[in-house]
Amino acid sequence: MQNYLLKNILIVNDGKIEQKDIYLKKGRIERIGRGLTIKEKVLEIQGEGLHLFPGVIDDQVHFREPGLTQKGTIYTESKAAVAGGVTSYMEMPNTIPNALTESLLENKYEIAKHTSLANYSFYMGASNNNGDEVLKMNKRKKDICGVKIFMGSSTGNMLVDNQSTLNKIFAESELLIATHCEDEKMVKDNYHN
């Protein structure tokens, strides 16, 4: 793998723009500083007048694999993400099948392990019937980005409107809970218009 030295590039970070050098070794930032000299062989790139931004984290993507790979796969969508500056993503559970069990969620991780071009994580989906399965994820809280609860049916068949399921997940989950909040009556009224 080629090592690089970016010279005099404008680094945009933490609300500041600073001109510095960046040494990239084996695909990772090894050092940042002014006037860096590297003893080993590197490809030196003059960055004068160019800006370097931190990678973007997209916390809500819909890559559609498994189930709708004619629309996109983890590979094709992560490739597009990286081309646009997104270096990490968190993917939603409303695939086919919905990621409602540990096994189905693990399948997505296995696909990404072999095909994703960016850093990744996946949300566990909630349904009216899988509260216990969601709570099993507490033991994997370092592995997954959170639980996704669709509180309206505009996104398909993952509506969670069972109050006891909602209470159980909100009270006992140790994971981040991301909700898609909607007024279900309004969704249904507008669906028929």
Whole-number Å distance between alpha carbons of 10 and 12: 6
pLDDT category at 183 given cuts 50, 70, 90 is confident
Spatial contact of 40 and 24, defined as CB atoms under 8 Å apart: no
Residue 35 pLDDT greater than 70, yes or no:
yes
Residue 28, pLDDT > 70, answer yes
Domains in the chain with CATH codes: 4-52 (2.30.40.10), 56-191 (3.20.20.140)
Beta carbons within 8 Å of 21's beta carbon, 6+ residues apart: 5, 6, 7, 8, 9, 32, 33, 34, 35, 36
DSSP track, 45-99? EE-TT-EE-PPEEEEEE---TTT-TTT--HHHHHHHHHHTTEEEEEE-S-SSS--
Single pTM value for the model: 0.78
Taking 90 as the threshold, does the pLDDT of residue 24 lie above it? Answer: yes
Q: Is the pLDDT of residue 192 over 80?
A: no
Nearest-Å Rg of the Cα atoms of the chain is 21
Write the pLDDT tens digit of every residue in 56-113.
Answer: 999 999 999 999 999 999 999 999 999 999 999 999 998 999 999 999 999 999 999 9
Q: What is the DSSP letter of 143?
A: T
Q: What is the pLDDT of residue 181?
A: 84
DSSP-derived 3-state class of residue 151 = coil
Closest CA to 99 of 41, 158, 59: 158
Report yes or no: 145 and 121 within 8 Å, Cβ to Cβ.
yes
> 155 pLDDT exceeds 70?
no
Cβ partners under 8 Å of residue 137, min gap 6: 102, 105, 124, 144, 147, 173, 175
Q: Is the pLDDT of residue 191 over 90?
A: no
Neighbours of 123 (CB within 10 A): 26
